[in-house]
């Protein structure tokens, strides 16, 4: 009997102290957890090809937790906080864009230097399991932008986790419905991916300008847009 083969992707995530097992990323077909979690290890081992569990788990650990992604040059500075994201359904896996979009949604509600470090490639043999092969690594610059980068990591009040999860569902359903919202979010997220605080500021200015277009003086538009976004009442906004 012929075994159906396909390629699926996983992602490693840094810039956080949070266990992603608590976050609901099902709108993107994604789930996750700390690499250091026994549940994450058990999941990878249980879904590996026969006799590949040890090799697969070593691959995940080396790529996500070593400083060079190869397990031979010491540990990544945040090795114990690295998370792994994986498909809810191996037969209908998320794309690379889905992983980045989900991380972007979290940063919209929780501004932070959360980032995807790697996309891991795995060959999936239906009914048998997965086998990891290569990976891609993505640049991030928070170590160059802040004296204390960890002060900007993703955290959340545990009592509000349900609000975060509710927002993620709402975000996935709605954020593409307005072009200006998409543009504002794009520039907002760009502010995290550039390599200097000055460029971050410029991206945020463009984001703010994009929210409410007009012909008024730029400084007035900034003041007005900030008032609309931040004020709880009309009088306070004025």
Q: Is the pLDDT of residue 231 over 90?
A: no
Residue 145, CA distances (Å) to 75, 103, 191, 238 in order: 22, 20, 11, 34
This prediction's pTM: 0.88
pLDDT in tens, 122-140: 999 998 999 999 999 998 8
pLDDT in tens, 69-114: 776 678 888 999 999 999 999 999 999 999 999 999 999 999 999 9
Q: Considering the chain, what percentage of its residues have pLDDT values greater than 90?
A: 67
Domain chopping of the chain, boundaries: 5-170, 176-237
Q: Measured between alpha carbons, how far is 71 from 195 in angstroms, rounded to an integer?
A: 27
Which pLDDT score, from 0 to 100, does residue 94 have? Answer: 97
Q: Is the pLDDT of residue 235 over 80?
A: yes
Q: Measured between alpha carbons, how far is 103 from 187 in angstroms, rounded to an integer?
A: 15
Which pLDDT score, from 0 to 100, does residue 74 have? Answer: 82
Would strands 115-125 and 129-137 be described as parallel, antiparallel, or unpaired? antiparallel
Q: Measured between alpha carbons, how far is 125 from 50 in angstroms, rounded to an integer?
A: 11
Which pLDDT score, from 0 to 100, does residue 144 have? Answer: 78
One-character DSSP codes across 175-211: TTS-HHHHHHHHHHHHHHHSSSHHHHHHHHHHHHHHH
Which pLDDT score, from 0 to 100, does residue 236 have? Answer: 85
């Amino acid at each position: 009997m012929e075994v159906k083969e396909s390629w699926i992707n996983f992602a490693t995530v840094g810039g956080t102290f949070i266990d992603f097992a608590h976050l609901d990323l099902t709108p993107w077909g994604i789930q996750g957890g700390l690499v250091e979690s026994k549940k994450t290890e058990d999941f990878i081992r249980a879904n590996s090809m026969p006799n590949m569990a040890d090799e697969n788990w070593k691959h995940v650990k080396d790529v996500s937790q070593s400083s060079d992604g190869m397990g031979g040059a010491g540990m990544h500075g945040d090795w114990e906080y690295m998370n792994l994201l994986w498909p809810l359904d191996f037969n209908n896996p998320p794309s690379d864009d889905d992983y980045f979009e989900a991380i972007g949604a979290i940063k919209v509600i929780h501004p932070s230097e959360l980032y995807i470090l790697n996309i891991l490639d795995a060959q999936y043999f239906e009914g048998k399991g997965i086998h990891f092969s290569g990976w891609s690594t993505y640049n991030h610059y928070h170590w160059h932008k802040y004296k204390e980068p960890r002060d900007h990591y993703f955290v959340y009040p545990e009592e509000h986790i349900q609000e975060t999860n509710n927002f993620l569902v709402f975000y996935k359903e709605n954020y593409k419905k307005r072009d200006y919202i998409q543009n504002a979010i794009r520039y907002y997220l760009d502010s995290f991916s550039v390599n200097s605080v000055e460029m971050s500021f410029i991206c945020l200015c463009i984001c703010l300008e994009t929210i409410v277009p007009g012909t008024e003086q730029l400084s007035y538009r900034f003041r007005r847009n900030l008032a609309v976004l931040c004020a709880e009442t009309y009088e306070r906004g004025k």
